[in-house]
Amino acid sequence: MPSNEERRQAAREKLAKQNERREADARKRKIKAGAIAGVVVVALVAAGCYIWLPQGPRAPLRVAAENKFKSEHVTCDFQDRDPVADTHKNLPAQKQQIAARRTQVTDAQKQLATMTGDQKTAGEAQIKAFSEQTDKLERQIARTEKALPAIDKLTERNKTVSKPSGKDVPNSGTLTGTLTTNSGPIGFELDRSKAPCNVETFATLIAAKYFDNTPCIRETGGAPTAASGLYVLQCGDPSGSGVGGPGWTSPDENPAFLKAASPANPMTGGSGTSIYPAGTIAVANANQQADPQSGSAGVSNTGASQFFLVYKDSTLPPNYAVIGKIDDAGLTLLKQIAAKGIAPNDGEPAATPAAPVTDGKPKEPVTITSMALAS
């Protein structure tokens, strides 16, 4: 029979062997896990991707920082366009539209013979208004054709500025600068919080000196007795034609924060009107509202480099992105420029006391000699 000492020695040897087996099993499991992880890493690398899982006590801080960055930036969908090619392409279609309108007038005049009294009077008034609108469109086409040499030069100018990437665009903060005209300087402030994508476009264009030595092509004003109207100086087209701009457009960023002047009309789909305060800088566009009757889907996201400076509170649909404002001294200068008057565009009727020009070009030419941001 084994002694007590022999039994204790046997127990110690058994325990030692059990510990050795446990350690060996642990080493095998560790080696197997490492091999599996290695295979996963190789597979992910081969697939060209990776998965990052925040670990450690600082992980929540990293996640919070990422979320904060995302909340302070937006992604902008800048669309490519070629204003030169578009203009050449659109002119034939526009001329066909004029011809079709002339045919409509002729057909309507034939129908007048079957009308009498008030019906005939109303028909004559409608035909006259439609004919005058058609004449105006035809004169506008003629001005565009005349400006084709200047429009064609945009091809080279647009090569000097590249479309922004649209990634990680700040949605807060301001940029200050000076728009220097042949009449004097106008200080301005661009506000990213109001229209971050459109401000990004203008910051890009200003940095490329895109606006330097370019004309302000349009001035508008209301009739002396008008309670509201459009009071702006429009600039930003190097060609001076009204159809020019860079090789991309910016997404619409409608200013919902403006004070309403009239409510939207759900029956017609109209967006109502808002008040653009004096001193506002807004982006012009060529958007067109959808027309269910004609089946037209409408056009959107056409804003680019053209902008207007508001010299008196103006009433407009809230469809023009507000990118900033000019300072008080700049507004005073802008009012002085506007006070010099409006000249009719080429081919348009001259002003008369009964019919002053309210939409044309500055009577004294206005040129942006430079536009720069403060360093």
Boundary-marking domain end, from 46, 68, 90: 68
Specify the number of domains making up the chain: 3
Boundary-marking domain end, from 111, 146, 181: 146
pLDDT at 46: 41
Residues 125 and 28 in one domain: no
Q: CA nearest 349: which of 358, 357, 338?
A: 357
Residues in the chain predicted with pLDDT less than 50, given as ranges, are 35-53
Residues 34 and 58 in one domain: yes
Give the DSSP H/E element, type plus range, for residue 23. helix 4-46
How many contiguous H segments (helices) and E segments (strands) does the chain have?
A: 8, 18
Q: Environment class of residue 61 by beta-carbon count within 10 Å: exposed (0-12), middle (13-18) or buried (19+)?
A: exposed
CA distance 291 to 270: 10
* 329-374 pLDDT per residue, tens: 999 999 999 999 999 999 999 988 888 999 999 999 999 999 999 9
Domain residues for the domain of 110 are 79-146
Distant-in-sequence, close-in-space partners of 81: CB < 8 Å, separation ≥ 6: 245, 247, 248, 249, 304
pLDDT at 45: 40
Assigned domain for 164 exists: no
Residues 248 and 113 in one domain: no
Assigned domain for 339 exists: yes
pLDDT at 9: 63
Distant-in-sequence, close-in-space partners of 347: CB < 8 Å, separation ≥ 6: 139, 142, 143
pLDDT at 69: 87
Report the CATH number at residue 358. Answer: 2.40.100.10
- Confirm if 139 and 335 have CB atoms less than 8 A apart: no
pLDDT at 42: 39
CA distance 78 to 97: 30
Assigned domain for 73 exists: no
